[in-house]
């Protein structure tokens, strides 16, 4: 697979693998641990070198899974994980915490669970409004100086916050949701990243599965599936938003691809420093997503997609209000 560079010098595969869904969020049956380890290793064999996890996924289980899966090929891959949440005595998520002392403790925990000596890319998962971002960046800078972290990242941060953090410790990558049905980063974040030379890592690049064409108004979600609580995934919203999937389907037929591949190829064509991280639990979806790196969209293709998409009024919020309040700070 082609490589791309995040920030100044972090080289990764053009498409990464988001590993969260292997441990949580998308229903009760993520597959066995060994099946997920095999899937991660198959991704490596297919050329993926960029893997995304976080301490809060599980919590903690996903880091252990990713660490075990990648241990035999540690020197060939880039592992990204995240800090920024507090946990109670039972290990349950309990609000935000990016206090410098907590950041250092979180890094030590992630290093142990991943079974690595250094974290390649360490994101602040969500901005903590109680802690100046300069203090957070300073804490990660200290971890970099100590050899525990290689690169600093931020997730769902506002443009001004990114700029302030970058002035203390250069930010290598920003991770935020971005796809044909969630384009808010284009307004302020992407221009700042272009100015500062920071890479961009879109999560949910396939709209949590909706843009693949495998979800429609009749799809039923288990109560353990995060989509059951997302306004954009009500039956009414899915019906209204089907026009976007139909658009992707039309382009896909023309290009000899799938709707998912067109959605990923659209992201790859936006900027050479954009690296999407679609997640999956299924080998066939993994192969499909990776093949998107070879789907070329011309300038005319992109203009056609953008013009058609601009006429579609996407219905429904991307998050429940309590989760949306944690973004864009």
Half-sphere exposure for 131 (CA within 13 Å, toward CB): 22
Is the distance from CB of 254 to CB of 295 less than 8 angstroms? no
Q: What is the DSSP string of 289-313?
A: HHHGGG----HHHHHHHHHHHTT--
Q: What angle do CA 212, 277, 9 make, to 5 degrees?
A: 150
For residue 116, give the nearest of 52, 64, 45 by alpha carbon: 64
**CA–CA separation, 219 and 225 (whole Å):** 12
- Report, in angstroms and rounded to the nearest whole number, the Rg of the chain calculated over CA atoms: 19
Q: Looking at the DSSP assignment, which residues form a beta bridge with residue 188? A: none
End-to-end CA distance of the chain: 34
Helix residue ranges per DSSP H, 156-219:
159-168, 189-196
Catalytic (active site) residue 57: yes
Q: Among 57, 178, 203, 319, which one carries the catalytic annotation? A: 57
Q: What is the DSSP string of 24-69?
A: SSB-S----HHHHHHHHHHHHHTT--EEE--TTTTTTHHHHHHHHH
Helix residue ranges per DSSP H, the chain:
33-45, 61-70, 100-114, 133-145, 159-168, 189-196, 235-255, 259-270, 283-291, 299-309, 321-324
Verify cis geometry, omega within 30 degrees of 0, for the bond prior to 59: yes
Half-sphere exposure for 294 (CA within 13 Å, toward CB): 9
**CA–CA separation, 22 and 57 (whole Å):** 9
Q: Enumerate the active-site residues.
A: 57
């Amino acid at each position: 697979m082609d490589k791309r560079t995040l920030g100044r010098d972090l080289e990764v595969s053009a498409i990464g693998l988001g590993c969260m869904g292997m441990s949580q969020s998308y229903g009760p049956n993520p597959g066995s641990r060994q099946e997920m380890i095999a899937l991660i290793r198959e991704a490596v064999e297919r050329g993926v070198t960029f893997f995304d996890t976080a301490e809060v996924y599980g919590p903690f289980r996903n880091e252990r899974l990713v660490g075990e899966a990648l241990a035999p090929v540690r020197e060939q891959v880039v592992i990204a994980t995240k800090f920024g949440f507090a946990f109670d005595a039972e290990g349950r998520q309990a609000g935000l915490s990016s206090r410098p002392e907590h950041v250092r403790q979180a890094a030590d925990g992630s290093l142990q669970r991943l079974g690595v000596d250094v974290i390649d890319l360490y994101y602040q998962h969500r901005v903590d409004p109680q802690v100046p971002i300069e203090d957070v960046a300073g804490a990660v800078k200290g971890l970099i100086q100590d050899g525990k972290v290689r690169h600093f990242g931020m997730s769902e941060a506002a443009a001004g916050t990114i700029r302030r953090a970058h002035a203390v410790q250069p930010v290598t990558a920003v991770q935020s949701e971005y796809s044909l049905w969630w384009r808010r980063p284009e307004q302020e974040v992407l221009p700042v990243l272009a100015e500062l030379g920071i890479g961009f890592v879109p999560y949910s690049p396939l709209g949590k599965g909706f843009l693949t064409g495998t979800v429609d108004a009749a799809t039923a979600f288990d109560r353990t599936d995060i989509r059951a609580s997302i306004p954009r995934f009500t039956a009414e919203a899915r019906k209204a938003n089907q026009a976007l999937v139909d658009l992707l389907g039309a382009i896909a037929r023309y290009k000899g691809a799938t709707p998912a591949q067109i959605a990923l190829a659209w992201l790859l064509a936006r900027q050479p420093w954009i690296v999407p991280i679609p997640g999956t639990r299924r080998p066939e979806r993994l192969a499909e997503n990776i093949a998107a790196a070879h789907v070329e969209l011309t300038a005319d293709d992109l203009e056609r997609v953008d013009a058609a998409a601009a006429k579609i009024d996407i219905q429904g919020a991307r998050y429940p209000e309590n989760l949306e309040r944690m973004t864009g700070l």
